[in-house]
Structure 1
C-alpha cells in the first residue's frame, strides 16, 4: 500500500518536472528546431560568391538550397526582406588543393584532391538579439587525384554534398541552438 502511494507521488513529480523542463525550452519540434512562437517569417538574401575561384553557379545554387532547407524543415514563411529571422552573407573561399601527397616513381603527387568551401553568414534574430551571430562555416570533400576542379564543378552532386553540410550547420546554429 505504501509502495503504491510512493509510486503515484513519484510519477506525479516526474510529470510536473517534465512539464517545467519543456516549458522553459520555447517551442520544440521533432525536426530539432527551437523557434520562438513569435518568429513567423524568414528572409534570406542572395549569398554572394566572393571567392576568386568559385564557379558562377554557386551563388544561386547555394542561396536556393538554403531557402529550400529552411522551408522544408520549419513552418516559417519566406519573405523577400525584413523577416523575423534574417540571413545574408557570402562565399569567401572555394579552394581546391592536393592532399595525401604520395611518391610515384620518385615524383611527389597528390593522392587525393580536397575542395574546401567557406561561407560567412550574418544571422539576425529580430525577436531575440542574443541569438544573432556573424560566423564562418566550412566543409570539404575529398576527390580522387584523377578529378580536377573542372570535373568536380561539373559533377552535380559533388559540390552540393559540401554545401549541404554547411547549410545544415547554419540551420543548426540558427534555429536548433546546437
Structure 2
C-alpha cells in the first residue's frame, strides 16, 4: 500500500451515525436562528412581540343555551396554565395588562352525526367559543375577535351527562389548544 489510510464504508457509516444527533441539533439551531425575526418572541409557532410583557385572561363566561357548569372554570384555568408554561408572558389581573383576553362560550349543542339501521348511533357535541384580544400597547387598534368551534363525537347510547364526563379532559385540552393557537400563532 502507498501509506494512505483508507476508511471502509462501514467505518464511515459508524462515524456519521455517531455524529448525526449533533449534526441534526446544529442544523435545527441554524434554521431557528435564520427564521427568527427581530423583535418577536417565537417558539413552536408562538409569536409574541417583545414589547408585550403581561396578559390578563378574564374568566371565560358560559352564555350558551345549555351551560356545563364545569366548562368555564376548567377552561379558564387550563388556558392560564398553558400561557404561563409556554410563553414568557406574566399573568396579571390588572386592567393595564399588555394583552387582555376575554372569551365567552356561545354555543354548546348536540346533534346526531351518525345513523345506522334508521337509528342514531353517533352524536356530536359542538362547542363554540368567541375570543376577543385587546392589545393595550396599541390603544388605537380595535380588539381582534375570533370564533372557534370544536366537535366532539360520542355514542348515541350515552346521555349528554355521560358523554361530558367521558370527554371532559379531551374537551378542555382541545379547546385550550385552539384558543392558545388563535391568540399566539401566525396562521
Is the TM-score greater than 0.5?
yes
Which protein is bigger by CA-based radius of gyration? 2
Shift in alpha-carbon separation, 1:57–1:23, aligned structure 2, 3 A: closer
User: How far apart are the structure 2 equivalents of 1:117 and 1:35?
Assistant: 27
**Is the contact between residue 117 and residue 163 of structure 1 (CA under 8 Å) also seen in structure 2?**
no
What is the DSSP-based 3-state SS (H/G/I as helix, E as strand, rest coil) of the residue aligned with 1:127? coil
> Pairwise CA RMSD of aligned residues?
2.2
Return 5+ residue gaps in structure 1 as ranges.
1-14
Q: Tell me which moved more, 85-94 or 165-174.
A: 165-174
What's the TM-score once normalised by structure 2's chain length?
A: 0.73
* Count of aligned residue pairs for this structure pair: 154
Return 5+ residue gaps in structure 2 as ranges.
1-29
Match of 1:138 among 124, 129, 149: 149
Summarize deviations over 1:44-99 as a string: whole Å, max 9, x none.
11111111212111111111111111111111110013311111121011112221
Q: What's 2:8 paired with?
A: none
Q: What's 1:78 paired with?
A: 91
Matched, 1:118 2:128: yes
What's the TM-score once normalised by structure 1's chain length?
A: 0.76
Q: What's 1:102 paired with?
A: 116
Q: What's 1:163 paired with?
A: 172
Q: What's 1:52 paired with?
A: 65
Summarize deviations over 1:89-128 as a string: whole Å, max 9, x none.
210111122211122xxxx321111111000111112235
State the Cα distance separating 1:169 from its structure 2 match.
2.2
